[in-house]
Structure 1
Amino acid sequence: MSDASESRAPTSAQGPAGKAAVDKFGAIETLGIDYIEPAQRHGRPRELFTIWMGSNIAYIFILVGGLLPLLGLSILQSLAVLLLGNLFWALVGFLAVSGPATGSASVVVQRAQYGMRGNRILGAGVGWVTSIAYIAINLAVGTFAGLAFLALVNVGDSTALTIVVAIVVGIATFVIAVYGHATIARLSTWFSAGLGIGALLLGFFVLQKASFAPSEFVPLEGAELWVMVSIGFTAVAALPLSWPTGADYARYLPASTSKFATAAWTGLGGFVAAVVLGGIGVLAGSVVDMSDPQTSLQEIVPAWFYVVFLLILVVGSIANNSLTAYSSGLAFQAMGIRWSRARSVIFDAFIGTVIALIALLSDSFYSSLSTLLTLTVAYLGPSITIYAVDILMRRNRYDALGLHDDSPRSPFWFGGGVNWAGATAFILGTGAALLCVNTYVFVGPVANALGGIDLTAIVGPLVAGLSFFILTKITQGQPRGLGV
């Protein structure tokens, strides 16, 4: 935990080691999970659009879109599932409103839901593990693209080359994350423009070859159809649900910033990128085998554009991972580790790279990805819903300074440092979700009883949200630590 979180009245006027707080493009951001004072606030909510769109023009969305036809869904069914699953971006945007209200990162705001000590595991701990997993996924995808590019220039494939490419892509990613908020915000504008144009060109070429009614397609019917729809919905929903970190990038906005604008620009940025790229994946899946993330689209785009496409994949994975790594560094600090944000990011980079290399050398990348996405929904759905219910119950009013007071006198200390209403709701929601899981490695008893229908993304959030609301009312009456 940073020094600023040690006292009742934290300040961002001084960063680590007494240095002046810095949040400028091209300079390393000195603040971590510290409270952002009003004088340090800047920016406009529309800047959040490019942050979220630029960072989500990533190949993982094409992969998930391509998964839907592989499940046996028609093009129209796949597009419908894609749209419905991505509605969770509205929830991501809603969580972002807590940033300007508190001047704090999401993992700090979650102290209101789990308590000072409970949050180290259920909020920051869970967030850190999830971030590391997604860092590894994006790094693996970027490395796949880099290897495909080298294959075009006749550079032989080898384990050593895979390791080198992964490290190079990783360094580019984590340098941006180390520099921090202002640098990410500025580069996101460029990423949005460049990657957006590339994505539209990709969509144009894919649309020329796509088939809305493949001749060999055999439509699913009855229970089998709903099983595949539910599995696809869960996989799509996993991506927006992996972002309970909207406050991390909105906390520098003035407290008077419009809540609607903050939520809308955040959610819309992610939604547009996810739907466009997922749609490209769906259409591509109608004519090529999307189970190969390295070369599947080479068959349907011009040779010259395939080179551009590979660069899009590499840069897209870097852009996505810069946000993920930034949040992972904040989560690592909030777990109680007394490191600077930059040092935390570097450590996370090492862990994520090791996991990515393991995945890269695996023969089952796509099935592993599908399983991971489904399993993360089991706990991310409850977590993000508890966060949203907390905002609603307190009308986005938090004792901003109290969130940084980790002593027993903090209004967010609760009982022994744990908000048992939040902790219990999280456990109940996750447990209920796991009963509904349907993956390659595990099928929950509820999913099994329903013939394989996966209700993870629905049951988990409902149980967690209702449990948190009821338990908070019973134990507290109204949420503790209400701000003005």
Structure 2
Amino acid sequence: MSKPSSSIFLSPSERSGKPKELFFIWFASNIGILGVVYGTMIVGFGLSFFQSLLAAMLGSLSFILVGLTSIAGKNTGANMLTLSRAAFGRKGNYFPTLMVWMSFVGWLAVNVITGTLTLLSLLNVWGLNTTSLLTVVSLFAFSLLVLLSNLFSQKVLVKAQTIFTYVFGLLTLLVIALLIPKTNWQALFQINNGDWLTSFLPAVSIIIAGTGIGWVGAGADYSRYQHPKTSSQSVVMSVTLGAFFPLFIIMSAGILMTTSVPSLGTADNPINVISQALPSWMTALYFLTALGGLIPQGILSLKSARTNLQTLDIHVKDSTAVFIHAIIIIALPVYVLFFSQNFLGDFQVFLGLVGIGLASWGATFLVDFALVRREFGYDEKLLSNKAEAINPAGLLSWLIGIAAGLAFTNTSFFTGPFARGIFEDSSLGVLLAFIVSGVVQAVLVNVQSSKSRGVESGKMAK
């Protein structure tokens, strides 16, 4: 691998991180109460208790995809979408970078919506009834908390995420401990198995879209601070387990709550509904815990979104970048909170559509990394502004995967021509997009390698 020698890569002095830092970053970013909503979504697919737990486990383990992309960041010291230029070309990378940026902005909006609903519920506990004015104030207050994280350096981020892990991780466990006794175990165990193909697989697919695939575009953004000699296996394990433990535990709590709070899966404000299963003395602490768990997710989403703007060659002042993101993460929640008023429905559509693009990008990147970059590395000329404009193999693999995923997807916006049978009203398009892009990329990379070997053989023969 060529040694890094430009601003594309972090300097050696900045790369002293240890794997445990990645564990805390990803643990803190997944202790949010949104995991409970995931749990109720799983049961909503008509799964039994055992199937629901299995789906939660597989969905949480999908963070291994983030762990694998993190290896590239550890090896080079470059961020995720800069590394992506090797697979797509400098200009070809604009399209997936824009898509990944939109996904992070979307996640920011989801965090702000959830944070706003949580803050409103907390204010209700303190005697303030929800009004349009109070909703607007809560929206601006939580947005400001997230935007202030723009001031965090990597060292401050690691310390903050470590604190969040211990404090809000323990508080979340306390909330779960209070909820478990309210579970109607008899009703839970009486739920029959759902169909493994038409119910279980779509449930796993939608959870993967919101967990591993949802964050796959950010892996190297944080692993690039790792020491270059850090074990790749340690990086993968730290990222995967850091996310797995909180995700699986909190999703499991959501699964259990479906018997004690049956309206959770259809509520306009699921955060408020959860509080109904808690003792009154715990309600305020629960909402504070939920807020604390949401902030780290917003911090990572904003940090990666801003990094992606720079990869798009959009260089603006910090204040301008913050203003751009502020407008978007306020406008989208305003639509959901005041016009759509269907948080869970909009959330599932968002996961499905964004998941298709991210799944295709992740598969293309990982196959390129496994078949090419692990052997030849990321030469600086592949990532700089002088790089090849378009890498046809990568861009074509990504687009074909997206086309395949959308063709088998049915949403409130459109219906794909093949969204029938097991694909109707399911999120299997996400898994299909991942598989198709990965296979196409593997084939095209091998074709390119064969042509290269043929050219070299011809030169040698002459």
| TM-score of the superposed pair, with normalisation by structure 1 | 0.86
User: Residue 235 of structure 1 aligns with which residue?
Assistant: 206
Q: How far apart are the structure 2 equivalents of 1:192 and 1:43?
A: 18
Structure 2 unpaired stretches of 5+:
453-462
Deviations 1:133-154 (A, max 9, x none): 1100011001100000111122
Are positions 1:106 and 2:77 aligned together?
no
1:329 is matched with which residue: 306, 309, 314?
A: 306
Structure 1 unpaired stretches of 5+:
1-7, 12-33, 480-484
Amino acid paired to 1:316 = G
User: Residue 48 of structure 1 aligns with which residue?
Assistant: 22
Are positions 1:406 and 2:385 aligned together?
yes
User: Residue 210 of structure 1 aligns with which residue?
Assistant: 183
Are positions 1:391 and 2:378 aligned together?
no
The answer to whether the 8 A contact 1:326-1:345 is kept is no
The answer to whether the 8 A contact 1:329-1:342 is kept is no
Q: CA deviation at 1:279?
A: 0.9
Higher helix share: 2
The answer to whether the 8 A contact 1:36-1:252 is kept is yes
Are positions 1:378 and 2:352 aligned together?
no
The answer to whether the 8 A contact 1:99-1:249 is kept is yes
Are positions 1:353 and 2:330 aligned together?
yes
Q: CA deviation at 1:400?
A: 4.7
Change in 2 beyond 3 A, CA 1:217/1:163: farther
User: Residue 318 of structure 1 aligns with which residue?
Assistant: 295
The answer to whether the 8 A contact 1:99-1:248 is kept is yes
Deviations 1:33-76 (A, max 9, x none): x4202232112111100000001111222111111223322222
Are positions 1:36 and 2:17 aligned together?
no
Are positions 1:365 and 2:337 aligned together?
no
SS in 2 for 1:256: coil
The answer to whether the 8 A contact 1:385-1:464 is kept is yes
Are positions 1:424 and 2:396 aligned together?
yes
User: Residue 174 of structure 1 aligns with which residue?
Assistant: 147
Are positions 1:10 and 2:6 aligned together?
yes
Are positions 1:57 and 2:31 aligned together?
yes
User: Residue 76 of structure 1 aligns with which residue?
Assistant: 50
The answer to whether the 8 A contact 2:356-2:406 is kept is yes
Q: CA deviation at 1:183?
A: 1.7
Q: How far apart are the structure 2 equivalents of 1:157 and 1:193?
A: 32
The answer to whether the 8 A contact 2:47-2:194 is kept is no
Amino acid paired to 1:59 = I
Amino acid paired to 2:90 = M
| TM-score of the superposed pair, with normalisation by structure 2 | 0.90
The answer to whether the 8 A contact 1:110-1:387 is kept is yes
Amino acid paired to 2:385 = D
Equivalent residues, number = 440
Q: How far apart are the structure 1 equivalents of 2:330 and 2:157?
A: 20
Amino acid paired to 1:304 = W
The answer to whether the 8 A contact 2:408-2:418 is kept is yes
Q: CA deviation at 1:113?
A: 1.2
Q: CA deviation at 1:329?
A: 0.2
Q: How far apart are the structure 2 equivalents of 1:60 and 1:216?
A: 24
Q: How far apart are the structure 2 equivalents of 1:465 and 1:419?
A: 15
Q: CA deviation at 1:468?
A: 0.9
Amino acid paired to 1:151 = N
The answer to whether the 8 A contact 1:90-1:263 is kept is yes
Are positions 1:455 and 2:434 aligned together?
no
The answer to whether the 8 A contact 1:421-1:468 is kept is yes
The answer to whether the 8 A contact 2:51-2:193 is kept is no
